[in-house]
């Protein structure tokens, strides 16, 4: 921000006027010693009162800071201890649920899914399909098996049909 010439002259004029007023006050006080002594005494009294008030304010502030620190120590310490107990309880609960509930359920689910998949594979290789599967996917022969082993013999078609009906009734 640039000052115009008028603003610069105004600042200079106010500074000179202030300096002139200070010089006049100084000269007046030098020529009137009684007034100077009274002003000196009054300024000493005002300064002492100001220092006393500032000391009182400072003491009150320090007292408030001490009360705040005591409050924080008294109130925050139990809260932190309670938080620590809660976190250890949560940690214990999480480990119990992980070891005692979740892991066995995962193991049972995995074994059940494996048995179900094995049963589907065996039934699918015998030509039996479930209601959910619909048509048998045309994946071709199973690797390592001959084509004759996957097709039922001519006399086994009645047994295959009977096994299919049993499986459909069970809902596998």
Please report whether residue 147 resides in a domain.
no
What's the structural domain count of the chain?
1
Please report whether residue 74 resides in a domain.
yes
Please tell me what DSSP assigns to residue 129: -
Please report whether residue 55 resides in a domain.
yes
User: Tokens 């705040």 — which residue?
Assistant: 68
Please report whether residue 77 resides in a domain.
yes
Q: Return the structure tokens found at 47.
A: 């300064």
For residue 40, what pLDDT is reported?
A: 92
Please report whether residue 161 resides in a domain.
no
Please report whether residue 7 resides in a domain.
no
For residue 127, what pLDDT is reported?
A: 79
Tell me how far CA of residue 142 lies from CA of 54, 80, 106, 139, in angstroms: 96, 64, 30, 8
Please report whether residue 103 resides in a domain.
yes
Domain that includes residue 64, residue range: 49-127
For residue 134, what pLDDT is reported?
A: 54
User: Is 70 exceeded by the pLDDT of residue 44?
Assistant: yes
């Amino acid at each position: 921000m640039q000052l115009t010439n008028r603003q610069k002259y105004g600042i200079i004029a106010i500074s000179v006027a202030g300096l002139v007023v200070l010089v006049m006050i100084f000269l007046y006080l030098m020529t009137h010693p009684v007034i100077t002594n009274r002003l000196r005494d009054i300024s000493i009294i005002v300064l002492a009162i100001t220092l006393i008030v500032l000391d009182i304010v400072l003491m009150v502030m320090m007292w408030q800071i001490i009360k705040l620190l005591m409050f924080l120590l008294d109130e925050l310490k139990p809260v932190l201890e309670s938080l620590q107990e809660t976190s250890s309880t949560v940690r214990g609960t999480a480990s119990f649920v992980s070891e005692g509930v979740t892991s066995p359920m995962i193991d049972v689910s995995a074994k059940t899914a494996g048995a179900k998949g094995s049963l589907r594979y065996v039934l699918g290789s015998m030509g039996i399909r479930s209601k959910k599967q619909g048509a048998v996917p045309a994946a071709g022969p199973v690797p390592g098996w001959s084509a004759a082993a996957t097709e039922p013999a001519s006399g086994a078609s009645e047994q295959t049909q009977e096994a299919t009906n049993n499986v459909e009734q069970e809902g596998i």
